[in-house]
């Protein structure tokens, strides 16, 4: 289990301009849905956008505190 | 002989035009994200191979390294990694998945 603030802080280390909205899907604090808005996604394919996010959260995924997360990525210009 | 798990994965992905690495099987998915991808594929009526990584710890680890992708499910079409649940769902919603798979 991991809380929202920890995830946000970790993401903002790699994606400093990221605007992050998080929702706890089950109330169990291990399945989250989030939307991440960052200029870093500009001209990056969906798979590589996900890799950027997974990369930022690697510690949590490797240790298993974060089992799964579902997220949408967009740049500030995208709807 | 030691098992060459990377070669095994490569072979599977080559042999099956549409292949899903998932938790559980298509009949009994063990995770909501795997189940979501199964239902999209079934809705499209495509033939696909399901590989249950829960019964194979070595493959579970190897598939993550194979594609540098830390989560399951993982969908491959014609040997190419398409994405996990979010990307598959998103592509399906935009109508981008079906043409890709129908050509497989």
Whether cis (ω within 30° of 0) applies to the bond prior to B101 is no
- Does residue A68 have a pLDDT over 80? no
DSSP letter string, A33-78: EEEEE-GGGTT--HHHHHHHHHHHTHHHHHHTSS-EEEEEEE-TT-
- From the list A47, A62, A68, which residue is nearest B83 (CB)? A47
Which CATH number covers residue B9? Answer: 3.40.30.10
pLDDT at residue B4, rounded to an integer = 95
- The pTM for the full model equals 0.84
Q: How far apart are CA A11 and CA B49, in angstroms?
A: 35
In a domain, B103, yes or no: no
Q: How far apart are CA A24 and CA A69, in angstroms?
A: 10
**What average pLDDT does the segment B29-41 reach?**
96
A68 and A30 Cβ atoms separated by less than 8 Å: yes
> In sequence order, what are the residues at sequence separation of 6 or more whose Cβ sits closer than 8 angstroms to the Cβ of residue A73?
A35, A36, A37, A38, A41, A46, A49, A50, A53
Q: How many domains does chain B have?
A: 1
pLDDT band, residue B1 (cuts 50/70/90) = low
Identify the residue among B34, B84, B86 best suited for mutation to test binding to A, counting A beta carbons within 10 A and taking the highest: B86
Domains of chain A, each with CATH number or no CATH: 4-74 (3.30.300.90)
pLDDT at residue A26, rounded to an integer = 78
Query: Is some CB atom of chain A closer than 8 A to the CB atom of B94?
Result: no
Set of chain A residues whose Cβ sits within 8 Å of the Cβ of B32: 31
Shortest CA distance from A66: residue in chain B? B71
- Does residue A67 have a pLDDT over 90? no
- Does residue A9 have a pLDDT over 70? yes
In a domain, B50, yes or no: yes
Q: How far apart are CA B76 and CA B33, in angstroms?
A: 16
The range of the structural domain enclosing residue B70 comes to 5-98
Mark yes or no for CB contact B68/A51 under 8 Å: yes
Mark yes or no for CB contact B71/A54 under 8 Å: yes
Least-confidence region, from A23-27, B31-35, B72-76, B92-96: A23-27
**What average pLDDT does the segment A56-72 reach?**
85
**Strands B18-22 and B49-52, sheet pairing:** parallel
In a domain, B104, yes or no: no
- Does residue A62 have a pLDDT over 90? no
**What average pLDDT does the segment B20-42 reach?**
96
Query: Is some CB atom of chain A closer than 8 A to the CB atom of B71?
Result: yes
B95 and B82 Cβ atoms separated by less than 8 Å: no
């Amino acid at each position: 289990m991991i809380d929202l603030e920890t995830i946000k802080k970790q993401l903002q280390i790699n994606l400093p301009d990221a605007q992050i909205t998080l929702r706890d899907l089950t109330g169990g604090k291990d399945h989250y849905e989030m939307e991440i808005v960052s200029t870093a996604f500009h001209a990056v394919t969906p798979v590589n956008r996900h890799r950027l996010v997974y990369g930022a959260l690697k510690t949590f995924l490797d240790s298993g505190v974060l089992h799964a997360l579902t997220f949408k990525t967009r740049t500030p210009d995208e709807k | 002989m030691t098992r060459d798990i990377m070669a095994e994965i490569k072979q599977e992905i080559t042999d099956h035009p549409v292949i899903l690495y998932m938790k559980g099987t298509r009949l009994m998915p063990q995770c909501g994200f795997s189940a979501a991808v199964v239902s999209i594929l079934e809705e499209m009526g495509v033939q696909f191979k399901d590989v249950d990584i829960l019964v194979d710890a070595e493959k579970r680890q190897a598939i993550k390294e194979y594609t540098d992708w830390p989560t399951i499910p993982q969908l491959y079409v014609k040997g190419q990694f398409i994405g996990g649940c979010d990307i598959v769902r998103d592509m399906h919603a935009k109508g981008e998945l079906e043409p890709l798979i129908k050509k497989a």
